[in-house]
Amino acid sequence: MNAQLEKPSAKPPGLQGVWADFGVAYAANGFIGWLFAITAPVAIILSVGSRGGLSEAEIASWVFGVFFFNGLISIGFCWLYRQPLVFFWTIPGTVLVGPALAHLSFAEVVGAFYLTGLLMFVLSVTGWVKRTMAAVPMPIVMGMVAGVFLRFGLDLVRALHADLGISGPMVVTWLALSVVPALGRRMPPLIGALLVGVGAALLGGRFDSATFATLEIIQPVIQVPTFSLAAAIELVVPLAITVLVVQNGQGIAVLRAVGHQPPVNAITAACGIGTMISAAFGGVCTCLTGPTNAIISSSGKRERHYTAGIFVGLLALAFGLLAPTFTRFLLDAPAAFVMTLAGLAMLKILQAAFTTCFRDKFTLGALIAFLVTVADLPMFNIGAAFWGLLAGILVSRLLERADFTNTGNDS
C-alpha cells in the first residue's frame, strides 16, 4: 500500500462479526440511505441524460455504473475501515455535464471522466489532496455550484405552473413532512413526495403501472472515450473540485461530526479508481456521499455504523443490475414528476450553496462565479462553469486579497 494511503486501524471483521454487529436499526438506516440515493439523485441523472440526447440504454448503463461499482467500493471500504464509507456519484458533477452535452459529444465527456479519475488518483498517492481541497475558496466553488443548480429550482416552479395535478401534491407532502419533524423521521420528505407523485400519476392515468411487470437485467453499453482538449479544460478541474471539495468535503465533515476518522487519501484514491471504472459505462465521477453517510451514521452505536454501509452497498448492487427497469420507470413518468422530484432534492443544497457563497468571505468572487455560470455562455467551446470558477477566483484575487491572507481553514 502506498505510504500516503491510510491503513486500517484494526483487523477487518469476519462474516460472523459483521452479522453480530448488524441489526434492525442499521438495516433501517441503510435502507433509507439507499432509498434517498435511488430517488431524486437518479432523477437528476435522467434529467441530464435526456436533455443531453442519450438513449435509454445509455442512461441505464450510466445508472448501472454508478450504483454497481460504487456499491462494491462501499462494501470494501466499510468492511476494511469499519466505518460508514458509502460511495456514490457527484450530483454537482452530474449537473455540470448537462451544459457540456450541448456542445460536446458524450464520448468527449466520458474522456473527461477518465482524466478526472486519473487526476484524483494522482492527488491521493502523492498526498496533495488535502492541499488541493484547501487551495480553492469554498464560497467561490459554491457560487459556481449555485449557478449550475439554479435551473433545477426554476424547473420546480415551472412544473408547478405546468402540471399542478402532479407537482402540487408532491410539494404539499414534502412541506408537511418537513414541517412536522416527527413525521419526517418516519417518512423522509423526498420519499413521501415520490410516493405521492406516483399515486397522483397513477390516479390520473399518467403512469404505466406495467413498468415493473418484467424485471430486466442490465446489458451495459461500453463507452469508448474521446480525449479532447476542450472537454478536458471545461470539465476535469470543475469535476475534480466538486468531488474533492464539495462532495468529499461534506461527507468527511459529516462523519467526523459523529466521531469517525475517515481516511482522506484512501477515499480520494477510491474516487479516482471508481471514476475510471464507472466511466467505461458512461457513469459520472465517484465521490464519498454526504447525505447517505449522514443517514446511516445518525443513530446506533458508532462502532456498528459500518454494517449499515455494507447493507447500502448490497442494495446498490441489486439496483445497478436492475437499472433498465428503474430507468424506464422514470423515463415513462410525466415530465413534471421528474422535474419536481429533482427540484425538491436540490432546494436544501441550493440554499446551502447560497449561504456559503455570501456568508462571510469571498462574496464578490462568489457572486461573479454565480453570474458567469448562470449566463451559460461557453467560450472557445468550453462551458460556463469553468469560466465562472476562473472569473470568481481572479476577481477575488484582485479585489478581495485580504480574504486570502486571513482565510485559515475557511477556504
Rg (CA), the chain: 20
Residue 387 lies in a domain: no
The fraction of the chain above a pLDDT of 90, given in percent, is: 45
Name the band, by pLDDT with cuts 50, 70 and 90, for residue 57. very high
Task: Decide which of 134 and 227 is more confident.
Answer: 227
- How many domains, the chain? 1
- Average pLDDT (52-74) is 95
Residue 53 lies in a domain: yes
In this prediction the pTM is 0.74
- Ranges 54-58, 314-318, 354-358: which has the least confidence: 354-358
* 99-111 pLDDT, tens digit each: 899 899 999 999 9
Using an 8 Å Cβ cutoff, are 132 and 170 in contact? no
pLDDT for 31 beyond 90: no
What is the residue range of 215's domain?
Answer: 15-350
- The confidence score (pLDDT) of residue 71 equals 97
Task: Decide which of 34 and 211 is more confident.
Answer: 34
Name the band, by pLDDT with cuts 50, 70 and 90, for residue 410. very low
Kindly report the average pLDDT of the chain as a whole number.
87
Name the band, by pLDDT with cuts 50, 70 and 90, for residue 381. low
pLDDT for 208 beyond 70: no
Please give, one letter per residue, the 3-state secondary structure of the chain: CCCCCCCCCCCCCCHHHHHHHCCHHHHHHHHHHHHHHHCHHHHHHHHHHHHCCCCHHHHHHHHHHHHHHHHHHHHHHHHHHCCCCCEEECHHHHHHHHHHCCCCCHHHHHHHHHHHHHHHHHHHHHCCHHHHHHHCCHHHHHHHHHHHHHHHHHHHHHHHHHCHHHHHHHHHHHHHHHHCHHHHHHCCHHHHHHHHHHHHHHHCCCCCHHHHHCCCCCCCCCCCCCCCHHHHHHHHHHHHHHHHHHHHHHHHHHHHHCCCCCCHHHHHHHHHHHHHHHHCCCCCCEEECHHHHHHHCCCCCHHHHHHHHHHHHHHHHHHHHCHHHHHHHHHCCCHHHHHHHHHHHHHHHHHHHHHHHHCCCCHHHHHHHHHHHHHCCCECCECHHHHHHHHHHHHHHHHCHHHHHCCCCCC
Residue 288 lies in a domain: yes
Residue 275 lies in a domain: yes
* 276-292 pLDDT, tens digit each: 999 999 999 999 988 78
Residue 312 lies in a domain: yes
Residue 154 lies in a domain: yes
Residue 91 lies in a domain: yes
- The confidence score (pLDDT) of residue 308 equals 94
Task: Decide which of 66 and 212 is more confident.
Answer: 66
- Average pLDDT (1-14) is 82
Closest-CA residue to 246 (of 112, 90, 374) = 90
What are the two backbone dihedrals, phi and then psi, of residue 287, each rounded to the nearest 5 degrees? -150, 165
pLDDT for 411 beyond 50: no
Residue 1 lies in a domain: no
- Ranges 114-118, 230-234, 373-377: which has the least confidence: 373-377
pLDDT for 72 beyond 90: yes
